[in-house]
Amino acid sequence: MKVFSVLATVLTAAAAISAAPTAQHEVRDVWSPKVLYPHAGTVWYSGQRHNVTWDLSSQPVNITNNPAFILLKTENFVTPVVLGYNFLLTDGRVEITVPDVISRPDYSVVLVGTGDNWGDQFRINGPIADL
């Protein structure tokens, strides 16, 4: 897992809160599933619908299954563009619409749940050519 400092700080605080023992002392694990799609070699076009998918095989027994969301990232920074929200990590997928973007080869998706994790870099071809 790669850690993006700002998100990581927020998420560490969130994880600390959610990891606080409840009255029943339940154990809740931080879980950052690996993004499976999009992967290296994927090319998306603005306006298309796609399922972002992630690996459910490492799912802990007890997870804090709060609503998760997906952001779009370039090589150097996480953008505030929300690709998907209002789904659960246990869903394993969420259908998104590719937004209008400047064409670039260095996009990736950031899956933010109990932890954050981002996938491989891939290309999006949008209405504006690579700058």
Ligand X SMILES: *[C@@H]1O[C@H](CO)[C@@H](O)[C@H](O)[C@H]1NC(C)=O
Residues in region 16-45 near ligand X by CB under 6 A: 24, 26-27
Which residues in 66-95 are b (16+ Cβ under 10 Å) and which e?
eebebbbbbeeebeeeebbeebebeebebe
The site that binds ligand X (CB under 6 A) totals a number of residues, namely 10
Q: Is 17 helix (H, G, I), strand (E, B) or coil?
A: helix
Q: Is residue 51 near ligand X by the rule CB under 6 A?
A: yes
Structure tokens at 34: 């690996």
Nearest distance in Å: CB 42, ligand X: 13
Residue 12 or 62: the one with the smaller Cβ distance to ligand X is 62
The contact pattern for ligand X, residues 55-84, with x = CB under 6 A and - = no contact, is: ------xx----------------------
Residue (of 69, 67, 60) closest to 116 by Cα position: 69
CB atoms within 10 A of CB 24: 6
Closer to ligand X by Cβ: residue 4 or 87:
87
Among 55, 75, 91, 95, binds ligand X (CB under 6 A): 95
CA gap 27, 49 in Å, rounded: 37
Binding site for ligand X (CB under 6 A): 24, 26-27, 49-51, 61-62, 93, 95
